[in-house]
Amino acid sequence: MASRKPLIAGNWKMFKTCPEAETTSRQLVERVGDVSSVDIMIAPPFTALAVVSKAIEGSSMELGAQNLYWEKEGAFTGEVSAPMIASAGCRYVIIGHSERRQFFGETDAGVNKKIQAAFEASLIPVVCVGETEPERDSGKTFSVLDKQIQEGLKDLNLNTSNPPVIAYEPVWAIGTGKTAQPEQAQEAHAYIRKLISQGFGDELASAIRILYGGSVKPGNIAELMALPDIDGALVGGASLKPETFSEIIHYRT
Ligand code: PGA
């Protein structure tokens, strides 16, 4: 098995005011701020990046944003660029989350530009892919992943010292309490790794971290992490509470 360091990432989505984000991140620092066996990232809303950055300073936790716009600056009211995110203290940025694809019309071509912009600002993109329930039911899971990976990563130079992270998040498992069966998750992760190997070579395929996302909680994390191609988790709902998120981070104990 490859020696990829696990990444446990929390996606806070559109939750938490600045004071709430500060309290939660301080509590997380107390619980997991010295953990070094896994990488930890939290992605608060843009408004709370600065307070969370300050609260986690000096701990092993790292900061991520939930989205970016690919232009560096300009007349794009309401958007936030990669250099802005980096200057707020972020190391990671989530790109192409299914909620962005579903509610805000994001496309694989847009995802591709966003990943490029993240690289240019030395951010590590966490690129989300995954099929909907009707797509799975009609046997299209692999063809959906093919398209998302091939078009999303098209023409990018991925053999960098900070390769991107992929998050496999079956849309039907997000926020629903339905987790993919371990064998379904492993099958999809192995397939994604094969696509990376075909498109970018074996070296990147064995180095890239593929996270699972969709109703991850303290009760199912250990089983998921035991699978050979699962290198971490992107956690939504269960990352909002320090108790549950820290239990997930301590999945080995
Ligand atoms: P969930 O969300 O853990 O609440 O299912 C995961 C995600 O959307 O990243």
End-to-end C-alpha distance for the chain, whole angstroms: 21
Token output for 90: 């972020």
Spatial distance between the Cα atoms of 148 and 135, rounded to a whole number of angstroms:
13
The response to whether residue 174 sits with its C-beta less than 6 Å from ligand 1 reads yes
Kindly report the protein residue whose alpha carbon is nearest to atom 6 of ligand 1. 236
Token output for 5: 């360091």
Question: Per-residue DSSP letters for 78-117?
Answer: T--BHHHHHHTTEEEEEES-HHHHHHH---HHHHHHHHHH
Closest atom of ligand 1 to 215 CA is 5
Question: Per-residue DSSP letters for 186-226?
Answer: HHHHHHHHHHHHHHH-HHHHHH-EEEEESS--TTTHHHHHT
CB 45 within 8 A of CB 16: yes
Residue range 135-158: average pLDDT?
96
pLDDT at position 179 over 90: no
* Interior/surface letters 67-92, b for 16+ CB within 10 angstroms, e for the rest: bbbbeeeeeeeeebbbbbbbebbbbb
Read off the pLDDT of residues 127-140 as tens digits, 9 standing for 90 and up: 999 999 999 999 99
CB 118 within 8 A of CB 125: yes
Kindly report the protein residue whose alpha carbon is nearest to atom 2 of ligand 1. 236
Closest atom of ligand 1 to 98 CA is 8
pLDDT value for 244: 98
Within 10 A of 211 (CB to CB), how many other CB atoms are there?
Answer: 25
Q: How far is CA 90 from CA 54, 93, 94, 206, in A?
A: 11, 7, 11, 25
pTM of the model: 0.97
pLDDT value for 206: 93
Q: Is 169 a catalytic residue?
A: yes
The response to whether residue 11 sits with its C-beta less than 6 Å from ligand 1 reads yes
Kindly report the protein residue whose alpha carbon is nearest to atom 1 of ligand 1. 236
CB 70 within 8 A of CB 113: yes
Q: How many CA atoms lie within 13 A of 65 on its CB side?
A: 29
pLDDT at position 148 over 90: yes
Beta partners for residue 16, in sequence order: none
The response to whether residue 126 sits with its C-beta less than 6 Å from ligand 1 reads no
pLDDT at position 1 over 60: no
CB 56 within 8 A of CB 42: yes
The response to whether residue 66 sits with its C-beta less than 6 Å from ligand 1 reads no
Closest atom of ligand 1 to 99 CA is 8
Read off the pLDDT of residues 189-209 as tens digits, 9 standing for 90 and up: 999 999 999 999 999 999 999
Read off the pLDDT of residues 162-172 as tens digits, 9 standing for 90 and up: 799 999 999 99
Residue range 60-85: average pLDDT?
98
pLDDT value for 3: 81
pLDDT value for 147: 98
The rounded mean pLDDT for the chain is 96
Domains recognised in the chain with CATH numbers? 7-249 (3.20.20.70)
pLDDT at position 2 over 80: no
